[in-house]
Structure formats: structure tokens, C-alpha cells
Structure 1
Amino acid sequence: MFKVSGKPQPGLVQVFYGDGRGKTSAAMGEIVRAVSAGLRVTVVFFMKGERRNAEYSSLKALGVEYAVFGRSSFLSGADARAEDARLCRQALKFAEGQISSGKWDLVVLDEINNARYYGFIETEDILKLLSVKPARTSLVLTGKTADKEVAAKADLVAEFRKLKHPYDRGILARAGIDY
């Protein structure tokens, strides 16, 4: 267990899911707090490619290590490719190594829930990640869906539900605000 203010802290599993905006932003908030407390943090991006993205710039500025596994454009079910499955399997293997290493206090698995939803990885794959997690390591899993078995094993499950969104009025994602 890592210590904050001299007190041992257990590592928890948090799942941020839903059709609303803010899941990755919430994970970024967890990262900022962890780094500010002197914790060691890494992020594994599933299904997101290297492109101009404020998340990556922020992580670099914070000195957070991260790895990106995805094509440079957003994925929808309509354009899923064999390459996406291959990249998700690579991300999964990489994530398992990072989690089981014991090097990190916080590991964020961004869009891992979507990788499972699209069938690129299985529920059992995610459950294995939870099982290799050292007691002191916290995990954050994001994506639009939450598998019931994974949610049952998590310590915190938060749903982000869209009530209203600018996209519904034709306003596209804004650089620096939405990505």
C-alpha cells in the first residue's frame, strides 16, 4: 500500500462509464491528484491513436508515462478493423505488464471498456488485470459501457449519463475543451 500523509492507502478499482461526456476527464482529475500527492502514475490508451490531443500534452507536462494503442482516428463499430483488435490485444498485454510490475500507484486504462464492448478483448481479460493488481495499486477503467462482472469487482462505479449535449445541436468537439 502506498502512503499519503503517512497513512497506508489501499489500491481501489474505479469504473467510469456511460454515454455522457467526462469519463476521461474524470480519469485525468484522478491523475492530477495522484501526481500532486507524489504518486507514480501511468496511462494505457486503448483505441486512441497519436494525434494532437490535450490529454497527451497534459500527461507530458505532468511527467506521466503513457502508451497509446490505436489508430489516429476515432473508432466506431462501422469501421472496426482487424488492426483494431490487434492493437487492443497489444494494449492489454502491455497493461498487464504495467499493472503486475508493482511500479505504479495508479494505472488508468482509458477506453478499455469500449475494447471489450467491440469484442476486441474479453471480460475475462479485464478480470485477469484486476487479479494481477497489487494491493496498493489503483486502477481506473473508462469507456461507454461497463461489464457487469467487472463492475461487481470494482470498488467504485460511476455512470456518466447524457442529458443534453452540444453535439445534438451540431456543435462538434472543441480542441482544448472536449479533446
Structure 2
Amino acid sequence: MAERKGLVMVNTGDGKGKTTAALGLVLRASGYGWRILIIQFIKSGKGYSEFEAAGKLPGVEIRATGQGLIRPGADRTSHREAARQGWEMARDEVASGRWDLIVLDEINIAMRMGFVDPDEVAQLIKDKPPSLHLVLTGRDCPEKIMDLADMVTVMEARKHHADNGVAAQKGVEF
């Protein structure tokens, strides 16, 4: 069997399902006995049932480094510091060679907000171990990152039940 070629996959766009798609890949990889790490940027790790479930899968480790929702006009200093700590962790873990799949959840948002430099992410992609699969999620992925990726999926919002006054529902949005 040929040596595995680690892919860089990006899930971006304004539509729902970027993290959910990454978690589908996590489910599949866990079924093959892979070692999987999910690092959450922005999200605090609290109140996300999908991560509660994913954390019970064999071989899956989840580390939340974010502080949760960033409100407009709020001081972003602590969010920036948390994202930088998450970034340092991501660099160390990618270089470690311990993982088959790493998901950097909402890293695209961290880049958009200026918490993580897209040039640093680009260098991480170029330097990652050849067999490591790497998934980057979140809206507004920089073009330079998409250009380096092997696969880019753009989630497009065409219609959403919230537009008709239907509130977020347990098991669907959270």
C-alpha cells in the first residue's frame, strides 16, 4: 500500500456546517483507529454537544483554547491571548508527529480577527509532516491558505430557517 499523503482541507463560507463536516471526518477517522486532535479556537468548549460526543470516540482528543463568543465592541485582549496560546499548541502538536488528523476549528476566524497571522498558518501547512491530515474551519479563510489547501469546501447559505423566525434548536444548531 502506498504511503498516505496528508491532505490540507478547508471548510469555509457563510453557510452552516463547517465544523460539522470536520466532525464527520473525525468520526470516519476514529473508525479506522486514527489518533485525532481537535483544537478549538474561539469556542470555549462549553455547551457544544457535538464536541461532547466526539470526545467519547476512541482516539479523539479535544482541546478548547478559546473564550467563546466575541461580542462586537468588546475588549479582545483576552481572546487574542487565548488564540495565541492555541496557536502555539497547534504548532507544537503538528510538528510532534503524534497525530493522524488535526482539526483547527475556527482558526479562519482567528486569522480574520488578527489573532493568528495567515503567514504563520501558511508556513505550518508547508512544514507539516507529509502524512498528517489537517483541517481548518471557519468563515473567511484567507485566499493564500485556500491556495495551499488540497481541498476547499465553501458552505453557501441559500436558505436558513432562522430567516423565517425559527429559533436555534437543540440537536441542530447546538
Normalising by the residue count of structure 1, what TM-score does the alignment of the two structures yield?
A: 0.91
Counterpart of 1:50?
A: 45
Counterpart of 1:3?
A: none
Mapped contact 1:96–1:132 kept (Cα < 8 A): no
Q: Which moved more, 1:117-126 or 1:104-113?
A: 117-126
Q: Do residues 31 (structure 1) and 22 (structure 2) align?
A: no
Q: For 1:56-75, what aligned pairs fall within 5 Å after superposition?
A: 56-63=51-58, 64-71=60-67, 73-75=68-70
Return the offset for 1:56.
Answer: 1.9
Mapped contact 1:105–1:138 kept (Cα < 8 A): yes
| Distance change in 2, residues 1:38/1:89 (3 Å) | same
Tell me how far apart the structure 1 counterparts of residues 73 and 153 of structure 2 sit (CA, whole Å). Answer: 27
**Count of residue pairs brought into register by the alignment:** 173
| Distance change in 2, residues 1:18/1:78 (3 Å) | farther
Structure 2 letter corresponding to 1:152: D
Structure 2 letter corresponding to 1:162: A
Counterpart of 2:89?
A: 94
Corresponding residue to 1:118 among 85, 91, 113: 113
| Distance change in 2, residues 1:124/1:66 (3 Å) | same
Tell me how far apart the structure 2 counterparts of residues 118 and 173 of structure 1 sit (CA, whole Å). Answer: 25
Counterpart of 1:104?
A: 99
Q: Do residues 167 (structure 1) and 162 (structure 2) align?
A: yes
Tell me how far apart the structure 2 counterparts of residues 97 and 172 of structure 1 sit (CA, whole Å). Answer: 40
1:87-140 alpha-carbon deviations (Å, 9 max, x no partner):
110110000111110011100000000001111111112112212310000000
Normalising by the residue count of structure 2, what TM-score does the alignment of the two structures yield?
A: 0.93
Mapped contact 1:77–1:118 kept (Cα < 8 A): no
Q: Secondary structure of 1:9's partner? A: coil
Return the offset for 1:167.
Answer: 1.9
Percent identity reads: 34
Tell me how far apart the structure 2 counterparts of residues 163 and 177 of structure 1 sit (CA, whole Å). Answer: 17
